[in-house]
Structure 1
Amino acid sequence: MVAFRMIGAILRAVTMAALVGGALAFAAVPSPYRAFTPESYGLTEISPTLYIDAPEAADRVAALIARAEANTRAFFGPLETDPVWVVCTAAACADRLGMRANGLTYGFHLIVVGPGGVNETILTHERVHAELHRHLDVSDILSPRFPAWFDEGLAAYLSGDPRLRQPADPRDADWIRAADDWLGWNDLRDSADWRDRYGAAARLVAEIEERAGRDGLRALVARVGEDGADFETEWHRLTGR
């Protein structure tokens, strides 16, 4: 049976799922929402926060998650969220869940990982998303306090993904700022390679740190996420442009 502590979060997480795009529902058609009831689709509960299709891989995956959490903690400090991880190490499991991405994060409650995401880079990327979302609520679906490009850019930047293409001049990455919500981010899928999209977003986050330091980047997250400051105002103030 799904851990009891998940139940209270399910309704909130289903609502917050719009943060990662898509408004699918539990249905006969496989979709990542099936991850809210992982044992119904052949995954094993290893702990209240880890479900996996291959119990024999649990120690290895748990060690990777621990490193991802350490990477996330290095930026945020003590972690305030404790998401449930649903991990597919094999394609058959991902197919049952309708999981096509390497990783998806639902609010700060649930992280679903596909076979291509069982590595420190992707796990860190998704864990950063969960922690950044810790102060978000339903109102952020229609009016996100962090633009989509920053949400993805911070996760890409802190994960240190070496596959991304980051322009040398951050002004050459300004085009990604059009993705201020998830519809805008998804619209770019057809017009820009994912390495360029994530690379541009990561480059703009790197610019903030170059100009304001790591503490300035942390302060931006705190002021917008906790204090409700306007992101654009803070971005202009820190980058000087």
Structure 2
Amino acid sequence: MKLRIAIVVLGGSIFAGLTGLAWALPAATASVCPSCYGFERAAPQVYVEKGLASEQAEAIVKFVDEGRQRVRKFWGPRQASPRILVCSDSACFERLGGGRRRGMSIFDFVAVLSPRGSDPVIAAHELSMIELNKRVGLLGFAREAIPVWFNEGIAMYASDDLRYLGPEGAGDRCLIAPSAPLPSGLFDWGRHALTDQHLYAKAACATSRWITAHGGPGSAVEVVSKVGAGVPFDEAVR
């Protein structure tokens, strides 16, 4: 009886959290009804703003496909199948709660790209984070079972983001090594990001070095699978 009550309470908490998220972030509701927010389907799971010229829509589909290929190269067959909303102007992205970011994602069901993030790198970054979230599950996502620095680091590695990493094949791809433990929680990460302009490069460095030392991307994918199965992160990375 106590277990049943706990499950009901937990389910209610998750539902309330998701309902609040949908209210707070228009992107969540836009993923359910893209046309309600001025989007139309350009390809399976890819939505662009209505009235966009066909050649512009085709260019968007092309870079999204390139981003998906980068994610597939790192993760293998994808488990997540999110809707991808691509804004062609800043007003659209701000309307969905994006602010000044290049892109954003919500759990495993939607990625939104701004005009500044309309390229394979940012698409792959957001899709990698979605793939990780899918594999750790809703509860793992909610309790931040994977440290943010590792999640972001994987996303930068998978997307081959040369803003924060040296070129592939360069041996040590680290550009800026962290001199202190990196923030693991979302709140702390956001707070540090306001004052440390090299935070993302440090996370990319720490993650790329871990991946290299442990035999390649497959080792990171295995860590995520273990965490998704309930193994604590600190134990999974040993």
TM-score (norm 2): 0.78
Residue 30 (structure 2) aligns with: 35
Return the alpha-carbon distance in structure 2 between the equivalents of residues 103 and 95 of structure 1.
11
Residue 159 (structure 2) aligns with: 159
2:214 aligned counterpart, secondary structure: helix
Q: What letter matches 2:30 in structure 1? A: A
Contact (CA 8 Å) 1:13, 1:109: kept in 2 or not? no
Return the alpha-carbon distance in structure 1 between the equivalents of residues 48 and 15 of structure 2.
20
Q: Are 1:187 and 2:191 an aligned pair?
A: yes
Q: Residues 108 and 138 of structure 1: is their aligned pair in 2 closer, same or farther, counting only changes over 3 Å?
A: closer
Q: Residues 33 and 169 of structure 1: is their aligned pair in 2 closer, same or farther, counting only changes over 3 Å?
A: closer
2:178 aligned counterpart, secondary structure: helix
Alignment partner of 1:49 out of 45, 53, 62: 45
Alignment partner of 2:233 out of 225, 231, 234: 231
Residue 220 (structure 1) aligns with: 223
Of the structure 1 ranges 152-161 and 165-174, higher mean CA displacement relative to structure 2 is found in 165-174
Q: Residues 95 and 219 of structure 1: is their aligned pair in 2 closer, same or farther, counting only changes over 3 Å?
A: closer
For residues 18-29 of structure 1, the aligned pairs below 5 Å read 26=23
Q: Residues 84 and 232 of structure 1: is their aligned pair in 2 closer, same or farther, counting only changes over 3 Å?
A: same
Q: Which runs of 5+ in 2 are unaligned?
A: 1-13, 167-171
Contact (CA 8 Å) 1:13, 1:110: kept in 2 or not? no
Contact (CA 8 Å) 2:107, 2:141: kept in 1 or not? no
| Bigger Rg, structure 1 or 2 | 2
Deviation at 1:138, TM superposition (A): 3.8
Return the alpha-carbon distance in structure 1 between the equivalents of residues 145 and 85 of structure 2.
27
Q: What letter matches 1:35 in structure 2? A: A
Deviation at 1:204, TM superposition (A): 1.0
Cα offsets for 1:147-167 (capped at 9, x unmatched) = 111111110122121222789
Cα offsets for 1:115-142 (capped at 9, x unmatched) = 1110011001011111111133443355
Return the alpha-carbon distance in structure 1 between the equivalents of residues 62 and 122 of structure 2.
14
1:163 aligned counterpart, secondary structure: coil
Return the alpha-carbon distance in structure 1 between the equivalents of residues 207 and 91 of structure 2.
36
Q: What letter matches 1:164 in structure 2? A: Y
TM-score (norm 1): 0.77
Return the alpha-carbon distance in structure 2 between the equivalents of residues 124 and 205 of structure 1.
17
Return the alpha-carbon distance in structure 2 between the equivalents of residues 98 and 222 of structure 1.
31
Contact (CA 8 Å) 2:174, 2:208: kept in 1 or not? no
2:98 aligned counterpart, secondary structure: coil
Q: Are 1:175 and 2:180 an aligned pair?
A: yes
Runs of 4 or more, structure 1, over 4 Å off, are 12-17, 165-171
For residues 61-100 of structure 1, the aligned pairs below 5 Å read 61-100=60-99
Q: What letter matches 2:121 in structure 1? A: T
Q: Which runs of 5+ in 1 are unaligned?
A: 1-11, 18-22
Return the alpha-carbon distance in structure 2 between the equivalents of residues 153 and 159 of structure 1.
10
Q: What letter matches 1:52 in structure 2? A: V
Q: What letter matches 1:220 in structure 2? A: V
Return the alpha-carbon distance in structure 2 between the equivalents of residues 13 and 63 of structure 1.
36
Contact (CA 8 Å) 2:133, 2:141: kept in 1 or not? no
2:180 aligned counterpart, secondary structure: helix
Return the alpha-carbon distance in structure 1 between the equivalents of residues 58 and 185 of structure 2.
37
1:46 aligned counterpart, secondary structure: strand
Residue 120 (structure 1) aligns with: 120
Return the alpha-carbon distance in structure 2 between the equivalents of residues 67 and 38 of structure 1.
22
Residue 9 (structure 1) aligns with: none
Of the structure 1 ranges 58-67 and 134-143, higher mean CA displacement relative to structure 2 is found in 134-143
The Cα RMSD (Å) is 2.9
